[in-house]
Amino acid sequence: MRVTIAKIQEMKQNGEKIVMLTAYDYSTAKIVDEAGVPLILVGDTLGMVVLGYETTLRVTMEDMLHHTKAVVRGSSQAMVIGDMPFLTYQLGESETLRNAGRFMQEAGCQAVKLEGGVTVAPTVKRIVDSGIPIMGHIGLTPQSIYQLSGHRVQGKTPDTAKRLLDDALALEQAGAFAVVLELVPAPLAKLITSRLKIPTIGIGAGPYCDGQVQVIHDMLGLFTDFVPKHSKQYAKLAVDIKSAVAGYIGEVKSGTFPGPEHGSTIDESLLKGL
Ligand code: KIV
């Protein structure tokens, strides 16, 4: 049995920190799952870190389903959460339910996530009422990046902080089982966390959230040109991969690879008649 929403709720009650990590493919999901991460998010950051788009806005349902299916195949204990892409939950109830349902029915995930607070709360309620667990996402919501004028910390004034608290409470009221707080000042994240019965999962929101989420490419150091302030590199895989590739190039060119152990042979006299 995979991790359930009851388990996640129990972790909040017990003060046990909740770890969430993104994954976008079978082999990474397998590693993350085997490491014991309880929540795997197939984030629409897929668009940026895997597909090379500048923002998440161009990610489609088909992109998400393709990758979510692979993550579900690669995992067995984690709850897999599919991120609903831009314009898949804004165009009316039946389209929204169909899209949320496709993550469950076609991709095989256990929950979905969408961005927004008070304004999407009725949508969240409809999805929950249809039996689909849903995670909210407030603060910096990347699908509104142009409206927010870039990747800025949110909730820095009394008004905007109050709005974020209202957003979080509206999501809880609508039935969300958890809420991501992205780029929110730590004291505000602490306050929201203390006011909610459901867990908060922070990214750039300080240490007081009930859990943390990171984009796996950031924490593995798969990019060398840009390291977000809110992430920590636990490995430098871009450096390791470049060095492995350079080693491969060098050995192919010098004739050291492949060695006899990497192939097979036969008695060369068998080739005499050819
Ligand atoms: O798409 C994503 O990876 C996310 C996380 C940053 C929370 O939404």
Contacts of residue 21, defined as CB under 8 A and 6 or more positions apart, other chains included, come to: 32, 37, 39, 40, 41, 213, 214, 216, 219
261 catalytic per annotation = no
Residue 227 banded pLDDT, cuts 50, 70, 90 = confident
Both structure tokens of 139: 């603060």
pLDDT at 235 over 80: yes
Percentage of the chain modeled with pLDDT above 90? 97
Q: Which tokens is 61 given?
A: 């349902």
The active-site residue out of 93, 182, 251, 268 is: 182
Calculate mean pLDDT across residues 211-227: 92
pTM beyond 0.85, yes or no: yes
Q: Which atom of ligand 1 is nearest to the CA of 20?
A: 7
For residue 119, the SS3 value is: helix
Q: pLDDT for 51-80, tens place per residue? A: 999 999 999 999 999 999 999 999 999 999
List pLDDT tens digits, range 10-19. 999 999 999 9
Query: What is the distance in A from the centroid of ligand 1 to the CA of 86?
Result: 13
Which residues are paired to 116 by β-bridges? 137
Tens digit of each residue's pLDDT (9 = 90 or more) over 10-53: 999 999 999 999 999 999 999 999 999 999 999 999 999 999 99
Q: What is the pLDDT of residues 89-112, one digit of tens each?
A: 999 999 999 999 999 999 999 999
The residue to mutate among 46, 71, 83, having the most atoms of ligand 1 within 8 angstroms of its beta carbon, is 83
CATH assignment of 5-240, given 3.20.20.60, 2.70.70.10, 3.40.50.720, 3.30.1280.10? Answer: 3.20.20.60
**Which pLDDT score is estimated for 53?**
97
DSSP annotation of 148: T
The helix (run of H) or strand (run of E) holding residue 239 is helix 237-254
Q: How far apart are CA 245 and CA 107, in angstroms?
A: 33
By C-alpha distance, which of 2, 10, 11 is closest to 211? 11
CB 147 within 8 A of CB 197: no
Residues having CB closer than 6 A to ligand 1 are 22, 41, 43-45, 83, 137, 180, 182, 203, 213, 215
